[in-house]
Amino acid sequence: MLRAPDGRVVVTTDLLLEGRHFRCDWSSPYDIGRKAAAQNLADVAAMGARPTALVVGLGLPGELPVEWLDGLADGLRDECLPAGASVAGGDISRSESVVLGVTALGDLGGRPPVTRSGARPGDVVAFAGRLGHAAAGLALFLAGRDDLPYPDLAAAHRHPRPPYDCGPAAAGLGATAMADVSDGLVQDLGHIAAASGAGVVLDPGALPVPEPLPAAAAELGVDPLGWVLAGGDDHALVATFPADAVLPGEWRVIGEVVAGQGVQVSGYDRPEGGWDHFRE
pLDDT at res. 267: 83
- Nearest residue to 42 via CA among 104, 86, 101: 104
pLDDT at res. 271: 58
Domain boundary among the residues 107, 142, 176 is at 107
β-bridge mates for residue 263, sequence order: 200
113 assigned to some structural domain:
no
Domain boundary among the residues 52, 75, 107 is at 107
The pair phi, psi for residue 159, each rounded to 5°, is -155, 125
Across the chain, mean pLDDT equals 94
Task: Kindly state whether residues 257 and 140 are assigned to the same domain.
Answer: yes
276 assigned to some structural domain:
no
Percentage of the chain modeled with pLDDT above 70 = 95
pLDDT at res. 94: 97
Task: Kindly state whether residues 261 and 129 are assigned to the same domain.
Answer: yes
CATH number of the domain residue 59 falls in: 3.30.1330.10
Task: Kindly state whether residues 92 and 138 are assigned to the same domain.
Answer: no
pLDDT at res. 276: 57
Task: Kindly state whether residues 228 and 198 are assigned to the same domain.
Answer: yes
Binding residues for substrate, as ranges, are 21, 233, 275
Task: Kindly state whether residues 24 and 147 are assigned to the same domain.
Answer: no
Return the beta strands (E) in the chain as ranges: 10-17, 50-60, 86-94, 99-107, 124-128, 177-181, 199-202, 236-241, 252-258, 262-265
Binding residues, as ranges, are 12-14, 21, 43, 90-91, 116, 180, 182-183, 233, 275
pTM: 0.93
Task: Kindly state whether residues 87 and 128 are assigned to the same domain.
Answer: no
278 assigned to some structural domain:
no
> Total domain count for the chain?
2
279 assigned to some structural domain:
no
2 assigned to some structural domain:
no
CATH number of the domain residue 260 falls in: 3.90.650.10
250 assigned to some structural domain:
yes
Domain boundary among the residues 107, 138, 155 is at 107
Domain that holds residue 20: 10-107
- Nearest residue to 73 via CA among 100, 93, 97, 96: 100
Task: Kindly state whether residues 48 and 93 are assigned to the same domain.
Answer: yes
Binding residues for Mg(2+), as ranges, are 12-14, 43, 91, 180, 183
Binding residues for ATP, as ranges, are 90-91, 116, 182
Task: Kindly state whether residues 66 and 133 are assigned to the same domain.
Answer: no
39 assigned to some structural domain:
yes
Tens digit of each residue's pLDDT (9 = 90 or more) over 201-235: 999 999 999 999 999 999 999 999 999 999 989 99
Q: Do residues 145 and 137 lie in contact, with contact meaning Cβ atoms separated by under 8 Å? A: no
Task: Kindly state whether residues 39 and 101 are assigned to the same domain.
Answer: yes
Classify burial at 93, counting beta carbons within 10 Å of its beta carbon; exposed 0-12, middle 13-18, buried 19 or more.
exposed
With a cut of 50, list the residues of the chain below it in pLDDT. 278
187 assigned to some structural domain:
yes
Q: Kindly write down the DSSP assignment for every residue of 81-113, as one continuous string.
A: HHHT-EEEEEEEEE-SS-EEEEEEEEE-TTPPP
Task: Kindly state whether residues 261 and 130 are assigned to the same domain.
Answer: yes
